[in-house]
Amino acid sequence: MAELELKNLYDDFRDGKTIEAYAKIIAEDAKKLEKPINIMEVCGGHTHTIMKFGLPQLLPENVNFIHGPGCPVCIMPKERIDHAYVLAMQEDVILVTLGDMIKVPGSKGSLQNARAKGADVRFVYSPMECLKIASENPTKTVLFFAIGFETTTPMTAVLVEQVIKLKVPNILFHINHVTVPEVMVELIDNRDDTLMQKHQIDAVFGPSHVSVISGSKIYDKFPKEYQKPVVVTGFEPVDAMQGISMIVKQFVEERCEVEIQYKRVVNHDGNLKAQALIDRSFEKKSLFRWRGIGDVADSGLKLRDEFSEYDAEVKYDEILPKNEIDDHKLCICGDILRGMAKPKECTIFGTACKPTTPIGSCMVSSEGACAAYYKYGDLV
């Protein structure tokens, strides 16, 4: 038997002939559309697929993409990045987080800057690495700065349960997990009939990795209450093209529903065990401030009150910044995250703001829209 290589797992989903076939189907169906449609991709992973593989070139002019919130790093407000910076600078604290957070600039600097000043800042691939770090550093506080959509929340919840079960005395949590449906509602509700057609959200690409955990059920309200079809779509180019085709067909056939393109992993109910795990550790915050979007009700998570002894925001409340901090005046990340602008409309895109010297979160994150346009912009 031939040895299985990674590329064997995605070759079929990057097949040029299949992509071309879907492009022809979309083009034929799009001729029957009564008006142009805008598809918002919520996740930056989709933005990178769209840009990397030049999908806009394959689409008719009346099928467009507008970019959404992108990724957990992109939407993190400066004041919460400042929380991480301040905590990292505390004596005997080891601040642990996921990789992209290291470079995101707050008003005081980035975690990378804090590390350059002597702070012990570490990035991990799995939150469970915190247990080893805590064991090796018993006299220090290991503070896990947790970020992510529904996709990564179960990993943090597993760590919370292990810390409690093993009675680990030197691990604390700063929780920044957010949920997708609430911000989708915010983005739709904040658009009205006075906005130009190019900014309207007509349909949504539901991120498949979120739905692996939460199921497609979290999108049920959008066709029913907002008349916006949702297709839960994978991240390979064939997935994206099939998802586009499914959305166009819904408009042509005058349907409005939630459909799953990524059926090889996603179902309606999702991972019930993971959902129960999340519910045991976390509860909803009344408000979470999204960078560029503002306060979104019930869109963030926090540790349950009975676990407050493990909550860094409780323990360090007196030293954590409280004031909201806006982005640089020339940065339009807020408009990009709301789907109101494209990166190349920013006057500092590719000049003052680029991956080596990022000013906005959309450029610093590997999944940010600006990073995608900078890396793959010559393809569209």
The DSSP annotation for 267-288 comes to -SS--HHHHHHHHHHEEEEEEE
pLDDT of residue 80: 94
Q: pLDDT tens digit string along 271-286?
A: 999 999 999 999 999 9
pLDDT confidence of residue 8: 55
Q: What are phi and psi of 345, to 5 degrees?
A: -80, -10
CATH topology for 78-180+270-319 is: Rossmann fold (3.40.50)
Q: What is the average per-residue pLDDT within 25-50?
A: 94
pLDDT digits (tens, 9 = 90+) for 290-347: 988 889 999 999 999 999 999 999 999 999 998 888 888 888 988 888 888 889 999 9
Contact 223, 251 (CB under 8 A): no
* 194 band by pLDDT with thresholds 50, 70 and 90: very low
What's the pLDDT at 325? 85
Contact criterion met (CB below 8 Å) for 376 and 48: yes
Q: How many percent of the chain have pLDDT more than 90?
A: 72
Would you place residue 380 in the very low, low, confident or very high pLDDT band (cuts 50, 70, 90)?
Answer: very low
Return the axis-axis angle of helices 129-136 and 153-166, rounded to nearest 10°.
40
The candidate with the shortest Cα–Cα distance to 39, out of 234, 247, 338, 215, is 247
Instruction: Express each pLDDT in 244-270 by its tens digit.
Output: 999 999 999 999 999 999 999 999 999
Cα–Cα dist 315/136, whole Å: 23
Mean pLDDT, residues 214-222: 97
What is the domain partition of the chain in residue ranges?
Answer: 78-180+270-319, 333-379
Report yes or no: 111 and 78 within 8 Å, Cβ to Cβ: no
Look over the chain and give the mean of its residue pLDDT values, rounded to a whole number.
91
pLDDT at 196: 52
C-alpha span between 73 and 357 (Å, rounded): 16
